[in-house]
Chains A and B, each alone.
Chain A
Amino acid sequence: GDSVTQMEGPVTLSEEACLTINCTYTATGYPSLFWYVQYPGEGLQLLLKATKADDKGSNKGFEATYRKETTSFHLEKGSVQVSDSAVYFCALPLYNQGGKLIFGQGTELSVKP
Chain B
Amino acid sequence: EAEVAQSPRYKITEKSQAVAFWCDPISGHATLYWYRQILGQGPELLVQFQDESVVDDSQLPKDRFSAERLKGVDSTLKIQPAELGDSAMYLCASSFGGVTEAFFGQGTRLTVV
Contact = CB atoms under 8 A, between A and B. Distances in A.
B107 interface: yes
Measured as residues with beta carbon below 8 angstroms from the partner, the interface class of chain A is 20 to 34
Contacts, number: 66
Nearest to B96: A99
Interface of B: 4, 6, 31, 33, 35, 40-45, 48, 50, 55-56, 91, 93, 95, 97-107, 109
B101 A103 contact: no
B107 A42 contact: yes
A93 B43 CA distance: 13
B106 A98 contact: no
Contacts of A104: 42
A44 B99 contact: no
Interface of A: 31-32, 34, 36, 41-46, 49, 89, 93-95, 97-101, 103-106
B103 A31 contact: no
B31 A98 contact: yes
Given A42-B107, A43-B106, A44-B91, A99 B42 contact: no
A98 B97 contact: yes
B102 A99 contact: yes
A105 B97 contact: no
A96 to B, nearest CB: 10
